[in-house]
Amino acid sequence: MRDVVVVLFRSSATHSERLAAVAAVSGVVIGGYRAFGGEGYYLVRVKGDTSVRSAKTAVTTLRALGQVEEASLERSHVRETVTALSNSAVLQVVPPDSAPDEMFADSNFVSDTTYASVPFLRNVLSVVFSDGTPQALRQTILDGVGGVIIGGNRLSTTNGYYYVRIISARTVVALVAARDILRAHPAVDDVDLVYRNITSPNSRFETQHVGGRADSVPAIAPDSIPRTLLASLPTLTTPNGQTLKAQLVVVLFRREASAADRTRVIAKVGGVVVGGRRTIQGDGWYIVRVPTATTVDGVLGALGALWSDPSVEVAGDYSTSTPSDESWLKPHDGQH
* Domain identity same for 52 and 93: no
Quick one: DSSP state of residue 84? -
3 state DSSP class of 203: coil
Does residue 284 sit within a domain?
Answer: yes
The parent domain of residue 301 ranges over: 227-329
Q: How does pLDDT run across 64-80, given as a tens digit for each residue?
A: 898 887 777 754 333 33
* Span 291-315, average pLDDT: 90
* Domain identity same for 94 and 65: no
Residue 93: pLDDT over 70: no
pLDDT at 306: 92
Residues 162, 149: contact at Cβ < 8 Å? yes
Domain tally, the chain: 3
**Rounded distance between C-alpha atoms, residue 146 and residue 177, angstroms:** 12
**Rounded distance between C-alpha atoms, residue 48 and residue 25, angstroms:** 10
Q: CA quadruple 313, 316, 318, 323: dihedral positive or negative?
A: negative
Residues 214, 173: contact at Cβ < 8 Å? no
* Domain identity same for 191 and 129: yes
Does residue 137 sit within a domain?
Answer: yes
* Span 259-278, average pLDDT: 84
* Residue 37 pLDDT grade (very low, low, confident, very high; cuts 50, 70, 90): very low
Q: Determine phi and psi for 60, rounding to 5 degrees.
A: -60, -45
* Residue 249 pLDDT grade (very low, low, confident, very high; cuts 50, 70, 90): very high
- Residue with more model confidence, 35 or 56: 56
Helix, strand, coil content of the chain in percent (nearest 5)? 30, 30, 45
Cα dist. 249→2, 214, 300, 303 in Å?
53, 16, 9, 7
* Domain identity same for 91 and 177: yes
**Rounded distance between C-alpha atoms, residue 133 and residue 180, angstroms:** 19
Does residue 210 sit within a domain?
Answer: no
* Domain identity same for 26 and 112: no
Does residue 105 sit within a domain?
Answer: yes
Q: Of 22-31, 111-120, 180-189, 293-302, which has the strongest mean pLDDT?
A: 293-302
3 state DSSP class of 304: helix
* 321 sits in which H/E element: none
Which of 51, 73, 95 represents a domain boundary (last residue)?
A: 73
* Domain identity same for 136 and 183: yes
* Domain identity same for 94 and 68: no
* Domain identity same for 13 and 48: yes
* Domain identity same for 114 and 59: no
* Domain identity same for 64 and 115: no
Which of 196, 213, 242 represents a domain boundary (last residue)?
A: 196
Q: Hey, which residues does 297 pair with through a beta bridge?
A: none
Region of poorest pLDDT, from 15-24, 192-201, 242-251: 192-201
Which of 47, 73, 99 represents a domain boundary (last residue)?
A: 73
Q: Of 94-98, 126-130, 142-146, 245-249, which has the strongest mean pLDDT?
A: 245-249
pTM to 2 decimal places: 0.41
Where do the H-state alpha helices sit in the chain?
15-24, 52-63, 135-143, 172-183, 204-209, 227-232, 259-268, 296-307
- CATH number for the domain spanning 170: value is 3.30.70
Does residue 267 sit within a domain?
Answer: yes
